[in-house]
Chains A and B, each alone.
Chain A
Amino acid sequence: MDKILRIDMGAAGGPSMKEEPVGAYAGLGGRAMTSAIVSKEVPPLCHPLGAENKLVFAPGLLSGSAAVISGRLSVGCKSPLTGTIKEANSGGQAAIAISRYGYAAIVLEGKPATNDLYVIHFGKDGVKIKSDKSLKMLPNYDLVDKMKAAYGEKIACISIGPAGEMRMGAASIAVTDMETRPSRHAGRGGVGAVMGSKGVKAIVLDMTDLKMRQPKDVEKFREANKKFTEGLKSHPVTGQALPAYGTNVLTNILNEAGGYPTKNFSGGVFDGSAKISGETIADLETKRGGLATHGCHTGCVIQCSGTYVDKNGKFVSKQPEYETVWAHGGHCGISDPDVIAKLDFMDDNYGLDTIEMGVTIGVAMEAGIIKFGDAEGAIRLVDEVGKGTPLGRILGSGAEVTGKAFGVERVPVVKGQAMPAYDPRAVQGIGVTYATSTMGADHTAGYAVATNILKVGGFVDPLKPDGQIELSRNLQIATAAVDSTGMCLFIAFAVLDQPETFQALIDMLNAFYGLSLTADDVAALGKQVLSMERDFNARAGFTAKHDRLPRYFLNEKLAPHNVIFDVKDSDLDQVFNW
């Protein structure tokens, strides 16, 4: 991964390519790479859909190697949804493919002068770009079928659906999984709209005979990888709960805690939670002949995903994640798993962020466009988005725009991005992360943690909010670091409890690259990434007043605990004071 491929989509005479050494970006991967390029090369005041914005695809430092669970892809740009810097993260096969072609990053630049739609193909004969009008407005599943017919079955495909072509704020970028289904998504922040603005419909990477990347120290790497794998498999979260039930194992838990945002964040408990819990859906999938345990990319040993089938055993969608089940389920008052799976498929097919879409529909319900619990109505609204009707255009622009268009006060967004599936009044620490994250309301930005990074020891008082600011800060630092490795963030749980598992990750990095990194170096990388992102956002015009939750979270009590978000602004402003 010693080169960067730059593709100027607006070059005179048609798209042109340039390969160059990584240069100043050496040693960076994943989110560190995307944020470094965007913060250095994209004018923060540019229009996100204009020629000055760049769309960066970066595999992680260990992607394409034998390191387990290292296949995550980072996609970075200035976000058309938030106006901030953005890194959206996806599973699937693309990071493995890009890294094995030797690229640390693929950067789409410029903007075509025409409305042509392009496919960028990576194969044994090099990289070729061609326009193909027949792909216009194809949903992702149909598009991928066409790409398989044209280029063979052994491909990884990065694509946008109609939503990205229409440059909607909720548009995602799809990445194909091991079954070559466009079921994994770089969802957040409208990255699909940026890809659409560059005129790129699909990036197709032929994976035939691609060679695994080799470490500098084969033995040490193998040993560290083995320890890392053992740590993941022995941990109850990564070794049992996630493979058995997926992320949706959280539905019962958040509901019990009274922190499950229900009917547009108006309550913390949903009556229908048992019908859509991870336990119930895993059982349903298994009975119907689907899969409750499935990996999204080669080398995943957690296998938190699955396949959801209908009562006749026919494929409907990948197993919906917790965030999707919540957004289209409890948030909208819907408790039918078949409906939720259908909505998940529609989002994947049209190329939409399931969180943004689900929250938007909840806001639409609050506006009275349809009623809470109207499953058929929700399906109809997502269809309108995919077809680009006037109402669909509003909804596809996200929750904030929808709230403004229909005069809704209670719109759960930060920096324009919809809140995920945890009410910040019940778990105030996640509220600190929502408010202060460089990405807008984001549940994964402050995710990963290792005890030696946290440097939190001894007794903590669970009844006192003290330390929440420090916790959020350290979590965001550690997450930024893990995002740079290409590792799935779910390693965090094993890493939190088992310092030897975190050490194994560092040992893998060292053995692969011939380095001598310590945990402090990893923390320093995380801080560096966050500093770059904060700097970009500041130059884009963001100030402390944007690091806040919507006011009604400070005033409106959340049942059943009757709590508000009461972390002081002055404390929020301390999160990044290093």
Chain B
Amino acid sequence: MHSTGKTVQVEAGSPPSFRIAVDSGLLPEFYILFQKGILIDVAPGTSVGEFLEDGLGLDPDYIRTRISTIFLDGMPVDDVRSARLADGAVLALSAAMPGLVGATLRKGGILSPMRSAISYRDHESAGGPTVGRVRLKLFNMIMKEAGPGLLSKGIIVPLSEARAVLNTLPADAVYREDMKAWPAADTLIELVIEPLDGRAG
């Protein structure tokens, strides 16, 4: 570690891994990445429920009671067992939301007919690749609660987005000189953020 911040450890791989430990108080600085969406590998055809439990390691009770609003490709999802992920899908997770419209968008909510035009509909998948990648977005309370765990496991993001966030950290948190040597091309990297003090933030 340099006197002016910790070094980001870079390990070759596909994608390359960029790893740094930060004070848990700085973990929220990375949450903007969840708003824009991180990439996660998934087997196409996996149900949303399976992905949340097995892929993300979330507790079934947490999924049922806490993740009250789910969008798959912009469509509100009502049944996580039947909604399935395709390669390139966008999945967004949120807690229960305020407002009439917030309540309307809720998973399995009684106001759901009010948004029937955009509700997720099950459909047969036409086959395709056996390995895929989805964009996962986390919002509000879910971002705070599930975010730290995902950061410490590693998230796939464009290098430019990682760099932008690291540049906002205090000077004593990250050594920026090494970052100048990072490629200019916007490749995808695996970003691993571990809390220095072991706390989730």
- The chain A residues found within 8 Å of chain B, CB to CB, are 235-238, 240-242, 244-245, 247, 249-250, 252-254, 256-259, 269, 274, 277-280, 283, 304, 322, 422, 425-430, 432-433, 443-444, 446-447, 449, 451, 454, 456, 460-468, 471-472, 475, 490, 492-493, 496-497, 560-561, 563, 566
Contacts and interface: CB of A to CB of B under 8 A. Distances in A.
B118 A467 contact: no
B74 A468 contact: no
Interface string B5-39: 00000000000000000000000100110011000
- Interface centre among A240, A280, A462, by most chain B C-beta atoms within 10 angstroms, is A462
A241 B141 contact: yes
Interface stretch (B42-50, B52-60, B91-99, B190-198): B91-99
21 contacts: A236-B141, A244-B141, A252-B92, A253-B94, A253-B139, A257-B115, A259-B118, A278-B140, A279-B140, A280-B35, A427-B114, A429-B100, A432-B114, A443-B101, A462-B78, A462-B112, A463-B116, A463-B119, A464-B113, A471-B113, A496-B103
A567 to B, nearest CB: 10
Nearest to B105: A257
Contacts of A258: 74, 118
B132 interface: no
Given A240-B141, A253-B97, A279-B139, A471 B111 contact: yes
Interface in B93-148: 94-105, 108-119, 121, 137, 139-141, 143
A428 B116 contact: yes
Interface of B: 28, 31-32, 35-36, 66, 68-69, 71, 74-76, 78, 92, 94-105, 108-119, 121, 137, 139-141, 143
A245 B110 contact: no
A429 B109 CA distance: 13
Given A256-B71, A280-B32, A496-B103, A237 B117 contact: no
A256 B75 CA distance: 8
A467 B95 CA distance: 25
A428 B69 CA distance: 18
A460 B113 contact: yes
A427 B119 CA distance: 10
Contacts of B31: 279, 283
Given A240-B141, A250-B99, 17 more contacts: A236-B96, A237-B95, A238-B98, A247-B98, A250-B102, A252-B35, A253-B69, A269-B74, A283-B31, A430-B114, A461-B116, A464-B113, A464-B116, A492-B103, A561-B118, A563-B118, A566-B117
A468 B118 CA distance: 14
A374 to B, nearest CB: 25
Nearest to A443: B100
A28 B106 CA distance: 34
Contacts of A250: 97-99, 101-102
Contact of A462 (B76, B92, B99, B140): B76
B98 A429 contact: no
A242 B103 contact: no
- Interface centre among B71, B94, B113, B143, by most chain A C-beta atoms within 10 angstroms, is B113
Contacts of A468: 113-114, 116
B114 A252 contact: no
- Interface centre among A236, A278, A475, by most chain B C-beta atoms within 10 angstroms, is A236
A249 B117 contact: no
Contact of B110 (A259, A430, A456, A472): A456
Contacts of A493: 96, 98, 102-103
B10 to A, nearest CB: 27
Given A245-B140, A257-B76, A237 B112 contact: no
Nearest to B98: A237
- Interface centre among B76, B99, B114, B139, by most chain A C-beta atoms within 10 angstroms, is B99
A241 B119 contact: no
Nearest to B34: A279
A466 B98 CA distance: 23
A560 B71 CA distance: 13
B95 A427 contact: no
A314 to B, nearest CB: 22
B104 to A, nearest CB: 6
Nearest to B77: A462
A249 B98 contact: yes
Nearest to A444: B100
A24 B110 CA distance: 38
Contacts of A280: 32, 35
Contact of B115 (A429, A456, A472): A429
Contacts of B94: 252-253, 256
Contacts of A454: 110
B114 A428 contact: yes
B143 A279 contact: yes
Contacts of B68: 236
Contacts of A245: 140
Contact of A254 (B78, B101, B112): B101
A460 to B, nearest CB: 6
A241 to B, nearest CB: 6
A460 B108 CA distance: 8
